[in-house]
Amino acid sequence: MDNNTAIKVAITGAAGNIGYALAFRIASGAMLGAQPIALNLIEVKQAEKQLDGVLMELDDCAFPLLTNCLSTSNIEEGMADVDVAILVGAKPRSAGMERKDLLKDNGEIFKHQGQVLNAVASKDVKVLVVGNPANTNALIASHHAPNLAATQFSCMTRLDHNRALTMIAKKHNKAVGQIKKMTIWGNHSATQFPDPLHCEIDDTRIELDEDWMHQEFIPAVQQRGAKVIEARGASSAGSAANAIVNHIHDWLLGTPAGDWVSMGVVADGSYGITPGIVYSFPVTTNNGQWHIVQDLPLNDYERKMMVATEKELCEERAAVQHLLT
């Protein structure tokens, strides 16, 4: 990155809880360090007034790194020449709505966003899909952006990754920063497989209590989002914004030596996963490119869990096949 040129970052759903928490983190430099930032805040017309309030607050912070801030309900204007697109805005799942209904409604949204990115974004844009179902929405958006490489799209499983890191750290009475090599495999859903079997503490493989792993750890990570909603009456916002910052930071600036992170990326056949679906893998990054960690030894339990979440993603892809033709 050129530290003298502003990186243009677009956020959809920018007046929502996640977008609101995120915009200030980005403008402060938390995501890309001492890098000038131009923010494009995108919302639906019904939320334009709230978006104006976010813009006023950003102005009032007088962030030295924030060179420009645009608020718009015109997605073509908001995505023009952007270097990073963070797709947060999506229809939430409501009472009585099945996953297939959410796929149908949000699939159309992400189809359009992919088309817009294809037409007006920077040719090197990095696209992070957060709106659920994130993996399949990323697949849809990428499909409708044929001028962009599929590797320029990813979906977020970093929040699940971070949740798992904290649980491991608490279990072993260690600081989170001492834990390395956590992996989230598969879908950002209740089928995801948070895999601690390769984790290290201070570069030493941890000794796992398998009963704890099966009975507490995996279900807790899988269901953490629902527990947050139950506790605060709304879905994760601050922690989701933090995970977005982590995801983009590592994608553009690189992963720490000797560690990896979890990202939903297009499968290339690694570990026998169906090519083409967007699946969370352990990845390392450098120079803005991600690389799936290869040749991890996997036991039968790991493979079983990985296949279960792969199956769900293949079913989701089949359900939106009409959007992929």
Is 217 a residue whose pLDDT tops 60? yes
Burial class (CB in 10 A: 0-12, 13-18, 19+), 210: exposed
Rounded Cα gap, residues 168 and 200, in angstroms = 10
Q: Closest Cα partner for 133 from 303, 264, 296?
A: 264
Find the catalytic residue in 188, 198, 247, 249: 188
Position 105 scores a pLDDT of 82
Note if 188 is an active site residue: yes
Position 290 confidence tier, pLDDT thresholds 50, 70, 90: very high
Q: Which amino acid is it at 38?
A: A
**Mean predicted lDDT score pLDDT of the chain:** 95
Could you give the CA distance from residue 58 to residue 23 in angstroms, rounded to a whole number? 8
pLDDT band of residue 234 (cuts 50, 70, 90) is: confident
pLDDT above 80: residue 173: yes
- Report the alpha-carbon distance of residue 31 to residue 11 in Å, rounded: 13
Give the percent of the chain with pLDDT over 90: 89
- pTM of the full structure: 0.96
What average pLDDT does range 117-142 have in this prediction? Answer: 97
